[in-house]
């Protein structure tokens, strides 16, 4: 296991570095040049230091040599000092480009994931962890690799200087790296375990923050005076986070202090060794001065080198997490082909259970919708209507049974391309009315958007920007939003439309208009209509009554009323309320 981890680390690091290069070739090249200049400038400082000492200690050449030596020293020092800030600014751009590229990979993965993946426990937490911790890692790896290259150059060069003075000084300083690298590996393991443990806490805390700050929740949170209770939970999570953070920070502090002590001990030993060499007359004062500068710079470079190695080791498990997440997504599905509906869509003996649930939400169901028909699904809360509609629309595949389109089993992407759903909790895109309507295909006929808006009764200019979340639009009523959602469905022009509670927010007049003329509104499309309003469903060509995931009755309104079953009972209950 350990060996495997050691073997995969270089592969992960190489892959991360490649991602950064691909994200911004020019930026990576500039960052590398800065790193190189920094390393060369550091060498210049040592060389200039040595020249200065030589000039000072050789009175005959002092007048000649001192000025160029000091000028070189000033130049090299200025270069080392200015490369750092330049690099910091350059890294801002490179970091953003890399984050964008990693986000593209994440968005590709989530786009490929089917709806049922979103239902499985663990998916959301894994996504959150990757978002929080892995997105910036490829960049960290690259800066660490650049740092590593620069420091390695520095280390080699300083070592070469030191070797000419006293070869033993080099291994003395390098020895400090052994504990530093071992400590880094330990730090890497604890950091990943910490991130893993805290992701769930962060998710819950973030959710509470959204509830407490976002506009869609503001009215209800105030109406119920829910803020104190939510703040209380938020505080509890803060306490948990603080406790876990304290433990982790203490661990990291110990690791940092031990690493620094190792380097400082090696530095002290090397300086003492130089003093000893001078005392014993083995080296002169100029050499000793240059050696002291080289030792100081070498230990600085070694500190950076160990830091870079530590950063790389720490990033490896996060990179593995990112790769695992990206690989966990299904293969990209081919784009679905839109089918015409010549005869009917049918579910035969279809069952479906949500991931981790023992009881099926849909149990051995047979239904069909013929071309141009309006078919209704009714039933009490939780009876399986929405789940069934999602199977019809190709968003879930049945666990058993088949979905057939004109007598053939059609792949799910084709079904999704051929069915449009207006969900009960449809999305209110904070975009213009036109963009809301044409979100499925902005390039289609511009007149089609206006036509869909007219048929759905959208009382707004197509250029009006909707919603207040982005501070630029106007908000509209729930019923107006619902008309926009209906227009979006009509615009897509598929042969079957699923309408899940399409009139929940419509006023009685609008609902009446929609349903007395529903076939004209749909323009010949077939519709699967889910509604608790019997005034809407009674006009359907066929009504399926669901209970506990099974179809318990089927027929027209008149047939079902005559059979005096569950439908008739629910219908009478509802109509009694209006008497
Ligand atoms: N994402 C989910 N994960 C697990 N179980 C679910 C999920 N969504 C729904 N269920 C369960 O599946 C069953 C059917 O739910 P479904 O939403 O299909 O019912 P419905 O008839 O549309 O209900 P309503 O009339 O309240 O909208 C219910 O028992 C529900 O609790």
Q: List C-alpha distances in Å: 406 to 326, 347, 368, 412, 416.
A: 36, 11, 11, 14, 15
Q: Are residues 61 and 172 in the same domain?
A: yes
Domain boundary among 328, 352, 378: 328
Q: How far is the CA of 195 from the centre of ligand 1 (A)?
A: 33
Q: Are residues 181 and 273 in the same domain?
A: yes
User: In the beta sheet, which residues pair with residue 346?
Assistant: 368, 404
Q: Are residues 445 and 531 in the same domain?
A: yes
The answer to whether residue 104 is domain-embedded is: yes
Q: How far is the CA of 548 from the centre of ligand 1 (A)?
A: 10
The answer to whether residue 35 is domain-embedded is: yes
Q: Are residues 90 and 210 in the same domain?
A: yes
Using CA of residue 230, residue 231, residue 235, residue 241, what is the dihedral sign? positive
Mutate which of 384, 399, 547 for ligand 1? The one with the most ligand atoms within 8 Å of its CB, which is: 384
Which ligand 1 atom is at minimum distance from the Cα of 501? 27
Of 235 and 505, the one with more pLDDT: 235
Question: Does ligand 1 lie within 6 Å of residue 386's CB atom?
Answer: yes
Which ligand 1 atom is at minimum distance from the Cα of 362? 14
CA–CA dist 171, 159 (Å, integer): 9
Question: Does ligand 1 lie within 6 Å of residue 382's CB atom?
Answer: yes
Identify the CA nearest to 324 among candidates 129, 194, 136, 186. Answer: 129
The answer to whether residue 338 is domain-embedded is: no
Q: Are residues 318 and 350 in the same domain?
A: no
Of 394 and 520, the one with more pLDDT: 394
Question: Does ligand 1 lie within 6 Å of residue 379's CB atom?
Answer: yes
Classify burial at 222, counting beta carbons within 10 Å of its beta carbon; exposed 0-12, middle 13-18, buried 19 or more: exposed
End-to-end alpha carbon distance in the chain? 73
Determine the average pLDDT of the residues in 469-489. Answer: 86
Question: Does ligand 1 lie within 6 Å of residue 210's CB atom?
Answer: no
Question: Best-predicted range by mean pLDDT among 51-55, 90-94, 156-160, 566-570?
Answer: 566-570
The answer to whether residue 334 is domain-embedded is: no
Q: Are residues 251 and 360 in the same domain?
A: no
CA–CA dist 226, 220 (Å, integer): 8
Where does the pLDDT of residue 501 fall: very low under 50, low under 70, confident under 90, or very high at 90 and above?
Answer: confident
Q: Are residues 313 and 353 in the same domain?
A: no
Question: Does ligand 1 lie within 6 Å of residue 387's CB atom?
Answer: yes
Q: List C-alpha distances in Å: 325 to 5, 21, 72, 355.
A: 17, 21, 52, 19
User: Does the structure show a pLDDT above 70 at 514?
Assistant: no
Of 505 and 351, the one with more pLDDT: 351
Question: Does ligand 1 lie within 6 Å of residue 362's CB atom?
Answer: no
Q: Are residues 273 and 396 in the same domain?
A: no
Q: How far is the CA of 384 from the centre of ligand 1 (A)?
A: 6
Q: How far is the CA of 406 from the centre of ligand 1 (A)?
A: 28
The answer to whether residue 563 is domain-embedded is: yes
Task: For 404-425, write each residue's pLDDT tens digit.
Answer: 999 999 999 999 999 999 998 8
Across 2-6, 146-150, 447-451, 460-464, least confident range? 2-6
Domain boundary among 270, 294, 328: 328
Domain boundary among 297, 328, 359: 328
Task: For 78-113, write each residue's pLDDT tens digit.
Answer: 888 888 888 888 888 888 888 899 899 899 988 888
Q: Are residues 263 and 400 in the same domain?
A: no
Q: How far is the CA of 550 from the centre of ligand 1 (A)?
A: 13
Q: Are residues 104 and 158 in the same domain?
A: yes
Q: Are residues 203 and 127 in the same domain?
A: yes
Determine the average pLDDT of the residues in 461-488. Answer: 87
Question: Does ligand 1 lie within 6 Å of residue 381's CB atom?
Answer: yes
Q: How far is the CA of 438 from the centre of ligand 1 (A)?
A: 29
Residue 488: CATH number of its domain: 3.40.50.300
Q: How far is the CA of 395 from the centre of ligand 1 (A)?
A: 14
Question: Does ligand 1 lie within 6 Å of residue 531's CB atom?
Answer: no
Residue 283: CATH number of its domain: 1.20.1560.10
CA–CA dist 352, 433 (Å, integer): 36
CA–CA dist 47, 578 (Å, integer): 97
Where does the pLDDT of residue 124 fall: very low under 50, low under 70, confident under 90, or very high at 90 and above?
Answer: confident
The answer to whether residue 339 is domain-embedded is: no
The answer to whether residue 335 is domain-embedded is: no
Q: Are residues 131 and 236 in the same domain?
A: yes
User: Does the structure show a pLDDT above 70 at 68?
Assistant: yes
Q: How far is the CA of 480 from the centre of ligand 1 (A)?
A: 26
Question: Best-predicted range by mean pLDDT among 89-103, 189-203, 208-222, 298-312?
Answer: 208-222
Structural domain count, the chain = 2
The answer to whether residue 48 is domain-embedded is: yes
Q: Which tokens sit at 110?
A: 């989530």
Please state the ipTM of this predicted complex: 0.98
Q: Which domain holds residue 109?
A: 2-328
């Amino acid at each position: 296991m350990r060996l495997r981890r050691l073997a995969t680390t270089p592969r992960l690091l190489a892959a991360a570095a490649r991602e950064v290069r691909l994200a911004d070739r020019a930026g990576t090249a500039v960052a590398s040049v800065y790193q190189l200049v920094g390393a060369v400038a550091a060498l210049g400082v040592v060389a200039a230091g040595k020249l200065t000492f030589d000039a000072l200690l050789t009175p005959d050449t002092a007048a000649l040599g001192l000025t160029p030596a000091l000028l070189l020293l000033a130049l090299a020092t200025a270069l080392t000092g200015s490369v750092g800030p330049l690099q910091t600014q350059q890294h801002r751009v490179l970091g953003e480009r890399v984050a964008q590229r990693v986000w593209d990979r994440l968005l590709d993965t989530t786009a490929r994931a089917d709806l049922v993946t979103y239902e499985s426990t663990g998916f959301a937490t894994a996504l959150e962890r990757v978002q929080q911790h892995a997105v910036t890692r490829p960049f960290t790896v690259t800066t660490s690799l650049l740092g590593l290259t620069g420091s390695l150059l520095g280390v080699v060069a300083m070592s070469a200087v030191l070797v000419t003075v006293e070869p033993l000084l080099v291994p003395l300083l390098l020895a400090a790296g052994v504990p530093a690298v071992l400590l880094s590996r330990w730090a890497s393991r604890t950091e990943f375990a910490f991130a893993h443990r805290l992701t769930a806490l962060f998710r819950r805390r973030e959710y509470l923050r959204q509830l407490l700050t976002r506009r869609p929740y503001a009215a209800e949170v105030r109406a119920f005076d829910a803020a104190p209770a939510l703040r209380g939970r938020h505080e509890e999570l803060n306490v948990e986070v603080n406790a876990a953070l304290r433990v982790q920070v203490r661990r990291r502090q110990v690791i940092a202090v031990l690493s620094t002590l190792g380097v400082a001990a090696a530095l002290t030993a090397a300086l003492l060794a130089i003093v000893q060499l001078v005392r014993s007359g083995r080296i002169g004062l100029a050499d000793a001065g240059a050696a002291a500068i080289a030792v100081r710079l070498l230990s600085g470079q070694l500190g950076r080198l160990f830091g870079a190695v530590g950063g790389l080791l720490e990033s490896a498990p996060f990179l593995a997490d990112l790769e695992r997440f990206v690989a966990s997504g299904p293969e990209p599905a081919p784009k679905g082909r839109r089918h015409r509906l010549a005869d009917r869509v049918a579910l035969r003996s279809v069952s479906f259970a949500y991931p981790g649930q023992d009881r099926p939400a849909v149990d051995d169901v047979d239904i069909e919708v013929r071309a141009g028909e309006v078919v209704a699904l009714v039933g009490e809360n939780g009876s399986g209507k929405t789940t069934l509609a999602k199977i019809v629309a190709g968003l879930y595949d049945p666990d058993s049974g088949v979905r057939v389109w004109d007598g053939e089993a059609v792949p799910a992407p084709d079904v999704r391309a051929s069915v449009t759903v207006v969900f009960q909790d449809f999305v209110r895109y904070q975009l213009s009315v036109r963009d809301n309507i044409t979100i499925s295909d902005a390039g289609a006929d511009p007149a089609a958007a206006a036509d869909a808006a007219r048929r759905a009764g959208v009382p707004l200019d197509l250029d009006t920007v909707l919603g207040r979340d982005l501070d630029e639009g106007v908000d509209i009523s729930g019923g107006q939003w619902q008309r926009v959602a209906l227009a979006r469905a009509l615009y897509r022009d598929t042969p079957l439309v699923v309408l899940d509670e399409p009139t929940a927010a419509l006023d009685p007049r609008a609902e009446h208009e929609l349903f007395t003329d529903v076939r004209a509104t749909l323009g010949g499309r077939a519709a699967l209509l889910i509604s608790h309003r019997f005034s809407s469903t009674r006009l359907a060509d066929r009504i399926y009554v669901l209970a506990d995931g099974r179809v318990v009755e089927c027929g027209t309104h008149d047939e079902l009323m005559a059979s005096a079953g569950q439908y008739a009972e629910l219908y009478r209950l509802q109509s009694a309320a209006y008497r």
